[in-house]
Structure 1
Amino acid sequence: MNWNHDHIVHIGGETETPLDPATETAVWRKRIEPWLSAVFQSEHLSLLVGNGFTTGIANQAGGVPTGMAGSGFGGCPNEDKVSAHAKKMAEAMGRGSANIEDELSAALSLLSGLEILKHADASAWETAIDNVLGEFIKDVLTTEKSIRDGIDKEPAAGGPLAREILVSFLMSFASRAASRERLHVFTTNYDRLIERGCDDAGLRIIDRFTGALEPEFRSSRLHIDMHYTPPGIRGEPRHLEGVVHLTKLHGSLDWRYDHPRLYRVGLPFGAEAGHPAVPASPRHSVMIYPNAVKDVETVAYPYADLFRDFSSSICQPNNVLVTYGYGYGDDHINRVIADMLTIPSTHLVILAWGEKPHERIASFVDRVGRPQQLTLLIGKHFGDIRTLVEHYLPKPAIDPLTIRMSELVERRGKITGKEPDDAGGAQ
């Protein structure tokens, strides 16, 4: 596959270079939007979003994206060895330079050994890790706050509000016919932007947490769903529309662990760092996941349940997985996606922003092969979340009247020899 173009459009096994930027949107929309419309109505649909999703919305809202660069541990003993180990692990995973997750994972491994040895340096590392985690949590909350404050502000350059882009993005995936399986959203992000977007869109979330005051994580999912019985109708109830499944693979800012319970606290979106729900020693309680560099880490509670949901959801026939803002830097996730593609009826859609195709994505695609099962929309044009929402993602419409209107417009276009208007309705 040729990875030398600034923009790569790969649909149905072909790779092409787009036309002049002034005309590429109109040209590619006629091909991309119908294709994605068909793909999104597959029997099973999953969405995996990474930090690029939050960064995109933050940029639209004039906010501050969360930085993932490492910051060090304040000169703790053997810090240079921890940094070297983090760098080695990052390179082994194809990540390149180590980020804060790599550094935390290496530091936590060292701390475990020091605690076993009852070494005097253990207390210094405990304090340093708590400080780094605390600053990282503060950064994520700052990103949430900047999005919250700017989500309804008119952009300086004009265009839709960040809230509209967020809601339209989620609804493009969640607007599925009742006969199809629910959309399943997976994320590696620690922030609550997806939950905020679902609230704004009126989507109901099903996850493994049950309860009202302190929702508790349950291992018994039992395929819980939401139904309703129409007035005057006898027989089986119907599926309630606007329901999605959500799995946060690396945990969340508002998850707390108090052995043996894992529960969710009431931490407001964009809360101040000094909020009572933010603990002073996050190392023991806040369930955010320093990147898995050892397979054994993914079998620990609750991550075994979360990754079991991920694998069982995407590794099934007639499934489509769409990734947006995910950089393919997590081997434990990439391995499951690669296994999914061994099923011939599955399909992977990669939406990614960047100056040029990312080496990790290129490496993953070259390794798995199977170009007929891949759709790639990569580059600054196709990866921009506003451009995606306005021009390429299917419009969120599944009601019978709109679908019927779309069919009539298409038939009339065939009779008159004219192409139907792009604004004619649903996809």
Structure 2
Amino acid sequence: MTNCLKVRDDFRPLTFDAEGDSFRLEAGSEASCFSGDLFSQKELRNRIEPWLTSLFQSEHLSLLAGSGLTHAVHSIAVENCAAGMGALTLSNHQTEIDQAASQAAEAAGRKKGNLEDQLRVANELLRGLEILQKTAEVKALSEELQTGMQAFAQSILSSEVGIATAKEDMREQAFNTLVTFLMSFASRTGVRDRLNIFTTNYDRLIEAGAELAGLHLLDRFLGNLMPIFRSSRLDLDMHYNPPGIRGEPRYLEGVARFTKLHGSVDWVQTGSDIRRIGLPFGAESVEPYLQAPGLGRATAHRLMIYPNAAKDRETADYPYVELFRDLAAAVCRPNSTLLTYGYSFGDEHINRVIRDMLTIPSTHLVVISYDDPLGRIMETYREMGRPSQISLLIGPALADLTTLTENYLPKAAIDKTTFRMSELLKQRIGSEPPPAKRFATEAAGAIDVSDFV
């Protein structure tokens, strides 16, 4: 599989293929950073790691994780990709729904519709039938949609089940890699803004990795037993007072802001509120956890997974408007870096925010993806027309999660001891005279002037 790299001052992406333990540039690719067409992983690391390390210390840093992250961790744990989403099977208006879903997918730049497109169109059709007062058709379609949403939720949980029930050594390796990946971003100096983590995934893989890493996630949910989604979330943070210090408190390490742009499998609409239920990671089914008294006999049709099943427009838009506002506010700022991992640029509403971000000259976009099967990443790269503000790491030699964390991402600890040591070495080297001058000084010092008096 061809790999694509564009970092630093590269004018255009470099393409290369693996050749044993080395890599060879493809015909037509030229790189002044490598001595020849053949180069090693060490040379790649020397070019990539310092660049990413400097970008990760931007004033504002955000991570956007797509389904590729779930597939990568699942592949490490189970050695195959996570379960995909099957098509929605209906007995009513199947042809019309499929056609409308395909048109919506083409308008968004995708080749064919998926389950999300079908559910979105089916929900719109359901609302139209309610307006037309087609009672029998509404009942039939509602029941089928409930079954479809249940199957959708089950497919989301299946990836969690695969990781949670994997062999112990493989599961530990998968989670250790995920923890290293997350902490590479979260380990920022105290004077920098908090890391913002965004994801389009419905599963709780990032939450599970954050728990293992001891990373505290700040989101819009408040409460302990059954947290509720709040629009009035203040700019909450976590600080501490070091012993004997006076003045402003310091940032607590291991804290990040977290936003699930498309909702989550454990978000449920209860009346006018959205709550997060206590669904364990790797649960076989969501149904038993929907039977709590406070949920009002909720069904899978009320899960807040985009497209959600809410019937009124205000409630349908309510959580997602707030979440996308958080995305725009986080990335569309000067001196901001956004890194995407496993995101295929198939969501136009997200791409629009990224385009607006790049209109600020001091922003930068880093795209890391295992592959680009539909060509959407490179197409978006060309359409945006800002190559100097975009870095690309595409291909298994660059974006494989294990390879990425071991070779190219910054180390997961930005500690002051390292900086103190480097400063001390600089001072010592700067204060020492050159070797030839030092030798002459030492030779002159060996002669006692009193001998000539």
TM more than 0.5: yes
| Matching of residue 331 in structure 1 with residue 348 in structure 2 | yes
Which residues in structure 2 correspond to 1:89-104 (within 5 Å)?
Answer: 89-104=104-119
**Counterpart position of 1:257:** 269
Q: Aligned residue for 2:398?
A: 382
Residues 16-74 of structure 1: per-residue CA shift (max 9 Å, x gap): 23475423422210110010000101100000001110010000011664444442323
Deviation at 1:407, TM superposition (A): 6.0
CA contact (8 A) 2:328 2:353 kept: yes
Provide the rounded CA distance (Å) in 1 between the counterparts of 2:207 and 2:142: 32
Shift of 1:290: 2.1
Residue deviations 1:208-253, cap 9 Å, x none? 1111111111111221100011122121111101000000000011
Superposed, 1:156-167 pairs within 5 Å as: 161-167=173-179
Structure 1 residues 262-310: Cα deviation after superposition (integer angstroms, max 9, x where no partner)? 1111110011216521478645421101299xxx899811111101100
Match of 1:7 in 2: 3
Contact 1:190 1:251 in 2 (8 A): yes
Contact 1:45 1:182 (C-alpha < 8 Å) held by counterparts? yes
The 2-side partners of 1:67 and 1:406 are apart by: 47
Show the counterpart of 2:192: 180
Match of 2:379 in 1: 363
Cα shift at 1:386: 0.9
Q: Return the alpha-carbon distance in structure 2 between the equivalents of residues 145 and 408 of structure 1.
A: 50
- In structure 1, what is the equivalent of residue 31 of structure 2? none
Map of 2:450 onto structure 1: none
1:309 and 2:349 correspond: no
- What TM-score results when the alignment is normalised by the length of structure 2? 0.83
Residues 329-379 of structure 1, C-alpha deviation per residue, up to 9 Å, x if partnerless?
00101000000000000000000112x564111221111110000000001
Between the two structures, name the one with larger relative contact order (CA 8 Å, sep ≥ 6): 1
Q: Check 1:166–1:407 CA distance in 2 against 1; reply closer, same or farther (3 A cut).
A: farther
C-alpha distance in 2 between matches for 1:385 and 1:193: 14
Distance 1:20 1:307, change over 3 A: closer
Change over 3 Å in CA distance of 1:406–1:55 after alignment to 2: farther
**CA–CA separation in structure 2 for the residues paired with 1:185 and 1:17:** 29
SS in 2 for 1:61: helix
Residues 298 and 188 of structure 1, relative CA distance in 2, 3 Å threshold: farther
Whether the 8 Å contact between 2:370 and 2:400 is mirrored in structure 1 is: yes
CA apart distance, 1:140 = 1.3
Deviation at 1:260, TM superposition (A): 1.6
User: 1:418: which partner in 2?
Assistant: none
- 2:243 aligned with 1:243, yes or no? no
Query: What TM-score do you get using the length of structure 1 for normalisation?
Result: 0.88
The residue aligned with 2:304 is 287
The equivalent of 1:319 in structure 2 is 336
Q: 2:131 aligns with which of 116, 123, 127?
A: 116
Aligned length: 402
Matches for 1:398-417 after TM superposition, within 5 Å: 398-405=414-421
Which segment is superposed worse, 225-234 or 176-185? Answer: 225-234
1:413 CA displacement? 11
Q: Who is 1:17 aligned against?
A: 15
Contact kept? 1:298, 1:304, Cα under 8 Å: no
Q: Given that residues 2 and 17 in structure 2 are in contact (C-alpha distance below 8 angstroms), is that contact kept between their aligned partners in structure 1?
A: no
Q: Specify the SS of the correspondent of 2:97.
A: helix
Partner Cα separation in structure 2 for residue 130 and residue 412 of structure 1: 70
**Whole-angstrom distance in 2 between the partners of 1:339 and 1:410:** 41
Which of 189, 205, 208 is the matching residue for 2:217? 205
Structure 1 residue 77 displacement after superposition: 2.1
Amino acid at match of 1:342: T
Amino acid at match of 2:249: P
Gaps in structure 1 of 5+ consecutive residues = 416-427
Q: Secondary structure at the match of 2:165?
A: helix
* Sequence identity percentage: 48
1:405: Cα distance to partner?
A: 4.0
Alignment CA distance shift 1:277-1:175 (3 Å): same
Alpha-carbon distance, 1:412 to partner:
9.9
* 1:72-87 paired onto structure 2 within 5 Å: 72-74=88-90, 76-87=91-102
| Unpaired stretches in structure 2, ≥5 consecutive residues | 23-39, 292-296, 433-453
**Once the 2 structures are TM-superposed, how far is the Cα of residue 154 of structure 1 from its aligned partner?**
3.9
Which of 33, 41, 50 aligns to 2:49? It is: 33
For residues 13 and 224 of structure 1, the distance between their equivalents in structure 2, rounded to whole angstroms, comes to 38
Counterpart residue identity of residue 76, structure 2: Q
Larger Rg: 2
More moved, 5-14 vs 273-282 = 273-282
Structure 2 partner of 1:226: 238
Conservation of the 8 A alpha-carbon contact between 1:323 and 1:349: yes
- CA drift of 1:402 comes to 2.8
Q: Which amino acid aligns with 1:166?
A: L
Distance 1:297 1:214, change over 3 A: closer
Identify if the C-alpha distance between structure 1 residues 413 and 248 changes in structure 2 by more than 3 Å, giving closer, same or farther.
farther
8 Å CA contact 2:340–2:367 kept in 1: the answer is yes
